[in-house]
């Protein structure tokens, strides 16, 4: 190529021709795009990008008459702007139905930028009204849980006589396995074994009597508490099995619980 003009003409022939396939895809996307879970501004930016790309492929016609006449294509451009407003409104979520109806009743219908501003203002007002709701819901849940806690304080266990739980959730019943046997030298000694289990749970009983007996504010937390006791029970049973297998007496307790072994 000998000149820049020839290079420019070659590039123009290769890249400046209308791409009907791309235009078809843009038209399809424009007809199916909607707000969905996005905010209004994100949805509007996508629409603007599609319109601008379409205009690059299909620019608006201009007046080619002898004299310049600003109103020559005014009706055409006005209708094009109105179609853009309709497309923007139709893609909004159903929650904007009220303000969409109000805009369509305006005479004349505002331009696209004005309509976009009205929708943004409506969305901002909704966000301000919605923000306090999680706080109110949390306060209501806390109040209900506190009332339930106060009601549970009046519950008395028929087994141990303590407050805050019922017999079916009493850890003094749940913590023992009926079929577990403690042995020393090949001889069963269930009473001493149970004393050791009682001593292991004595620390938990003393430190959490005021809290664990009340358990928690919700039934789910109560189930979690029972699950923890079950895990501790399994660990104690494994410990007792280890002591039995190694010939260690089950009534040899920890020094800080020596007062219990004399009974």
Q: What is the pLDDT of residues 149-177, one digit of tens each?
A: 666 666 778 778 777 777 777 766 665 54
Distance, in Å, from the CA atom of 128 to the CA atom of 132, rounded to the nearest integer, reads 8
Q: Domain span at residue 199?
A: 144-261
- Provide the mean pLDDT of the chain: 71
pLDDT recorded at residue 86: 94
Mean pLDDT over residues 124-131, rounded?
A: 76
In a domain, 2, yes or no: no
Distance, in Å, from the CA atom of 259 to the CA atom of 97, rounded to the nearest integer, reads 77
Considering the domain architecture, whether residues 114 and 35 belong to the same structural domain is answered as yes
Q: What is the CA radius of gyration of the chain?
A: 39
Considering the domain architecture, whether residues 185 and 242 belong to the same structural domain is answered as yes
In a domain, 254, yes or no: yes
Mean pLDDT over residues 186-208, rounded?
A: 47
Q: Which percentage of the chain shows pLDDT scores above 70?
A: 53
Considering the domain architecture, whether residues 217 and 183 belong to the same structural domain is answered as yes
Task: Work out the pLDDT band at 119, boundaries 50, 70, 90.
Answer: very high
In a domain, 104, yes or no: yes
Considering the domain architecture, whether residues 174 and 105 belong to the same structural domain is answered as no
In a domain, 139, yes or no: no
Considering the domain architecture, whether residues 153 and 246 belong to the same structural domain is answered as yes
Greatest alpha-carbon pair distance for the chain in Å reads 120
Distance, in Å, from the CA atom of 247 to the CA atom of 40, rounded to the nearest integer, reads 76
Q: CB burial class (10 A; 0-12, 13-18, 19+) of residue 47?
A: buried
Backbone phi, then psi, for 187, in 5-degree steps?
-115, 135
pLDDT recorded at residue 260: 46
- In sequence order, what DSSP letters do the residues of 194-208 get, joined into one string? HHHHHHHHHHHHHHS
Residue 63 contacts residue 76 (beta carbons within 8 Å): no
In a domain, 213, yes or no: yes
In a domain, 5, yes or no: no
Residue with tokens 């905010």: 39
Number of H helices, E strands in the chain: 12, 2
In a domain, 51, yes or no: yes
Considering the domain architecture, whether residues 253 and 206 belong to the same structural domain is answered as yes
Q: Does residue 242 or residue 46 have the better pLDDT? A: 46
In a domain, 192, yes or no: yes
Mean pLDDT over residues 42-69, rounded?
A: 80
Considering the domain architecture, whether residues 107 and 151 belong to the same structural domain is answered as no
Task: Work out the pLDDT band at 145, boundaries 50, 70, 90.
Answer: low
Considering the domain architecture, whether residues 105 and 176 belong to the same structural domain is answered as no
Task: Work out the pLDDT band at 222, boundaries 50, 70, 90.
Answer: low
Distance, in Å, from the CA atom of 112 to the CA atom of 118, rounded to the nearest integer, reads 10
Q: What is the pLDDT of residues 228-261, one digit of tens each?
A: 667 777 777 777 777 777 665 545 444 444 444 4
- Last residue in a domain, options 130, 152, 176: 130
Query: Residue 220, Cβ neighbours under 10 Å: how many?
Result: 9
- Last residue in a domain, options 102, 130, 158: 130
Considering the domain architecture, whether residues 117 and 150 belong to the same structural domain is answered as no
Considering the domain architecture, whether residues 162 and 227 belong to the same structural domain is answered as yes
Residue 110 has pLDDT above 60, yes or no: yes
Considering the domain architecture, whether residues 149 and 235 belong to the same structural domain is answered as yes
Identify the weakest region by mean pLDDT among 63-77, 91-105, 110-124, 232-246.
63-77
The number of folded domains in the chain is: 2
Considering the domain architecture, whether residues 173 and 215 belong to the same structural domain is answered as yes
């Amino acid at each position: 190529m000998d000149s820049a003009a020839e290079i420019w003409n070659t590039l123009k022939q290769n890249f400046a021709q209308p791409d009907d396939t791309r235009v078809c895809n843009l038209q399809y996307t424009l007809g199916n795009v909607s707000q969905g879970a996005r905010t209004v501004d994100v949805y509007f930016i996508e629409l603007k990008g599609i319109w601008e790309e379409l205009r690059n492929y299909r620019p608006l016609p201009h007046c080619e008459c002898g004299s310049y006449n600003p109103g020559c294509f005014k009706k055409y451009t006005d209708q094009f702007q109105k179609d853009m407003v309709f497309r923007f409104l139709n893609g909004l979520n159903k929650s904007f139905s009220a303000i969409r109806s109000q805009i369509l009743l305006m005479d004349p219908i505002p331009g696209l930028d004005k309509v976009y501003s009205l929708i943004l203002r409506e969305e901002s007002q909704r966000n301000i009204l919605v923000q306090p709701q999680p706080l109110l819901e949390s306060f209501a849940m806390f109040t209900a849980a506190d009332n339930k806690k106060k009601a549970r304080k009046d519950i008395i266990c028929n087994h141990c006589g303590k407050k805050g739980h019922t017999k079916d959730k009493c850890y003094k019943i749940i913590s023992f396995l009926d079929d577990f046997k403690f042995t020393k030298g090949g001889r069963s000694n269930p009473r001493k074994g149970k004393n050791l289990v009682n001593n292991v749970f004595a620390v938990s009983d003393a430190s959490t009597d005021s809290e664990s007996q009340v358990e928690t504010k919700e039934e789910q937390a109560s189930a979690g508490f029972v699950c923890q006791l079950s895990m501790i029970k399994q660990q104690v049973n494994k410990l007792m099995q280890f002591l039995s297998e190694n010939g260690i007496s089950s009534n040899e307790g920890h020094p800080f619980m020596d007062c219990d072994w004399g009974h």
